[in-house]
Each structure stands twice: as structure tokens, then as C-alpha cells.
Amino acid sequence: MTVNVSELKEKFQKLFGEEGCIKSFFAPGRVNLIGEHTDYNGGHVFPCALTIGTYGIIRPRNDRKLRLYSVNFDKMGIVESSLDDLTPSEKAGWTNYPKGIMWTFEKRGYHLDRGADILFYGDIPAGSGLSSSASLEVLTGLMLRDTYGFDISMTDLALIGQYSENHFNGMNCGIMDQFASAMGKKDCAIFLDTSTLNYEYAPVKLPDARIVITNSNVKHSLVTSAYNDRRNESESALKALQTVIDIRTLGDLSEKQFEQYKDAIKDPVCRKRAKHAVYENQRTIHAVEALKANDIETFGKLINDSHVSLRDDYETSCEETDILAELAWNVPGVLGSRITGGGFGGCTVSIVKNDSVDLFIRTLDKAYTEKTGIKAEFYVVDIGDGAHALDSYIQEDL
């Protein structure tokens, strides 16, 4: 779907008035090709930014008032707040995300001396696991940086987004989602070492294949608590391992070292969580090597192995995403398929040969509905750029 930014600007002016200078921005969602739940375990990830994401229109005010509006939550209308009331609350709903970024700016010494009117619109499907929250966070940070003239790098905007989600919104996420949204590059995935933030752009060359995202249209309610549980279990495993080997993170271990020292982890659940973190990190390294060597078959097999590990060892899959992955594995021309994102619902990501894309969608559409009673959605996606200002792109439209 093509978003008409001019129409969003017109909507903004109807809501907030036509006076003053307004600016428009975009931050993408992301899909992680491989490397799941490794980002807070000091491992590698391999996400790419998408061409879907969140759009924002902003105009600074002359007082400390905040007026926030989302086209996606239009029934809430304009939500009014203040820079003097940057505290999380259930009543604030979606506005906790932009307010959390403002709170983090203030904590880091970037003083917001006046409020703003802001309109948001996102075309990331809700609950899909394609990082609508990180997209909103990075977008807000970019708007504040450019509107108020702060000197902040895109990497720091990603870190601000992560800090905000951890400490304002209570989701103990790693850095991957915000980093991908801030630092994405067209037609490339980001091979990121989350323990150092060293990264490289790896061109995603899929001759005769496409990336297809399948939305299970399921999001189980335990996602936040269970996600935080997985992080705590991984940290317990790390502490146990640190009694027998000098490591900073689970990502420091090879598979061989894990097998040598795993008995130090007495809790069998924590041992499984650590096994996933270690093996998934190594899978991600091998997957990038395979992609660079144009070995798409091996790349796809590692994607399949990732799903099995997320299902059996990390236990962040669910019945619906398991069904989607297993159906995909049996479709001719599917090179690999797995759950992507935080888990407990959301989406699978699949690498599908061009001449099998239609068959893939037809097959999964029918069989998934028969097995679950739920209608899946399919997106054949392109890899886009990271967050950026839009005004220079849309001058011709105005």
C-alpha cells in the first residue's frame, strides 16, 4: 500500500490548524531473517528494514502542551498531555511510546523546551511482530532530534528507543528492533553483533526468490511476561556458566564450549534457553556466510533449524506459528520458514522461489484456515531504508 503523505499533512492541518511549519518523517518496521532472542544475550542478529512502517507529522508549539493523534486509533481522538507529565499509565494507551521517548530524552540531558502537535500513522499490521513499537520509538526520536536541533546519531536514537521500552514501557527487549528501524539500508540486512554494536550491511541477493511474511493473526496475551521470563532464564543460565568459564554473554560461547560446560546450569529449563541462545548465534553467523557465498539452500536450512530451536528449546513459538512453518516446509520451492519476532504469535518469514510464491500463498491460506479457523495474511516484502525525513522526498507532491 502506498501512503500519501500529502493527505496525512492535510489531516494534520484539519486537526491542529494550518499555521506554522510542519515536518514529516518515516521509520520502518523490520523482519529478522535469523538470530532470534540473541540480541539481549550478546549474540548476532540479521534483521532488515521493511518498506512498511510508521509516518509522523510534527509541529512544535509555543507552550509545554502535547497533542498526539494516531490515525490508527482515531476513536481515542486527540490525546492531550504535557511535557510536565511524562509518566506511563494504562489510560495513556499507545501514547506511552512517544512519551517514553520524550522522557528518555530528558533523562539524557536533551531538554525539550516546548511541546508539540504530532500525528502518527502506521501501516504495519497490529500484533504482527514486525516491530511497530520500535518503529514508533525511532520515529519519535528522529522527529524530536530534527525539530529541536539535537546532535544525536542514529545509533544513539536506537539506544534511546530501547531504553525507553525497557524502563518506561516495561518490555525488557534487546537492541535489534530499534537498531534495524534506525539503521536499515535498502536491499541489505544488518549483520549486527549486539554485544559490541559492530555491524555490517550484507546485500540480500535472492536470485529467483522472495521474502514472504505470513501473519498468523494470533497474538497470545502472555507475550510481555513470557518474553521477560525468557530474558531472566537466560541471565540465570549465564550466571551459572560464569562459575566455570570466563564469559560476558551467552554469545561468547561456541556450540562445543556450551556442550562442555552446560552441566553447570542445574535448572533444565534455563539450560534449554541457553542452548538456543548459543546455537542460534552460531546459526546466524553461518547463515550470513552462506548468503555471502550465494548458498541459498544452506541459508534456508538454517532458517528451518532456527524455528525448531525456538519451538523446542526457547519455547517462544505457538501452535499457530508451528502450523504455518510446517505447512511451508512441505511446499515445493520453499527454501526456509520460521517464526520471527518476539514470539507467541505474530508472523513467520519464508524464503520462497519466485515461481512458487502463488502456490505457497494458496496452500497456506487454505490449510491454515482449515486447521485453526483463522485467516492468515501474506506480504511479499521489499527491504527498505532506515528512518528518515520525508519532506525532501515529497516536494513534488505538494
Question: Do 278 and 367 lie in a common domain?
Answer: no
What is the count of structural domains for the chain? 3
Question: Do 216 and 114 lie in a common domain?
Answer: no
Question: Do 176 and 200 lie in a common domain?
Answer: yes
Question: Do 138 and 253 lie in a common domain?
Answer: no
Which CATH number characterizes residue 178's domain? Answer: 3.30.230.10
CA dihedral 168→170→175→178, nearest 10 degrees, is -60
Question: Do 243 and 367 lie in a common domain?
Answer: no
Question: Do 116 and 183 lie in a common domain?
Answer: yes
Helix (H, G, I), strand (E, B) or coil at 79: strand
Question: Do 41 and 126 lie in a common domain?
Answer: yes
Burial class (CB within 10 angstroms; exposed 0-12, middle 13-18, buried 19+) of 21: exposed
Q: Which of 315, 341, 372 is the last residue of a domain?
A: 315
Note down the domain range covering 94.
Answer: 5-204+384-397
Annotate 147-182 with DSSP letters as a single string.
HHT----HHHHHHHHHHHHHHTS-----SHHHHHHH
Catalytic one of 39, 117, 177, 305:
177
Instruction: Give phi and psi for 183, each to the nearest 5.
Output: -110, 10
Q: Which of 295, 315, 335 is the last residue of a domain?
A: 315
Question: Do 10 and 82 lie in a common domain?
Answer: yes
Question: What is the per-residue pLDDT for 223?
Answer: 56
Question: Do 165 and 298 lie in a common domain?
Answer: no
Give me the tens of pLDDT residue by residue for the chain, a chain 398 residues long: 578 999 999 999 999 999 889 999 999 999 999 999 999 999 999 999 999 999 999 999 999 999 999 999 999 999 999 999 999 998 899 999 999 999 999 999 999 999 999 999 999 887 677 888 999 999 999 999 999 999 999 999 999 999 999 999 988 888 999 999 999 999 999 999 999 999 999 999 888 999 999 999 998 765 568 888 999 999 999 999 999 999 999 999 999 999 999 999 999 999 999 999 999 999 999 999 999 999 999 999 999 999 999 999 999 999 999 999 999 999 999 999 999 988 888 999 999 999 999 999 999 999 999 999 999 999 999 999 999 999 853 333 32
Question: What is the per-residue pLDDT for 19?
Answer: 87
Question: Do 269 and 240 lie in a common domain?
Answer: yes
- Cα gap 250→258, rounded to integer Å: 9
Question: Do 200 and 248 lie in a common domain?
Answer: no
Q: Which of 315, 336, 371 is the last residue of a domain?
A: 315
- Cα gap 147→145, rounded to integer Å: 6
Question: Do 19 and 114 lie in a common domain?
Answer: yes
CB-based contact 193:44 (threshold 8 Å): yes
CB-based contact 5:22 (threshold 8 Å): no
Question: What is the per-residue pLDDT for 1?
Answer: 54
Which CATH number characterizes residue 262's domain? Answer: 3.30.70.890
Mention every residue, 6+ apart, whose C-beta is less than 8 A from residue 330: none
Instruction: State which H helix or E strand residue 367 sits in.
Output: helix 357-372
Q: Is 263 a catalytic residue?
A: no
Strands (E), the chain: 23-32, 44-45, 47-60, 65-70, 79-82, 116-122, 188-193, 198-203, 209-219, 334-340, 345-353, 377-381, 388-389
Grid-cell match 500484533, residue found: 127
- Cα gap 291→298, rounded to integer Å: 8
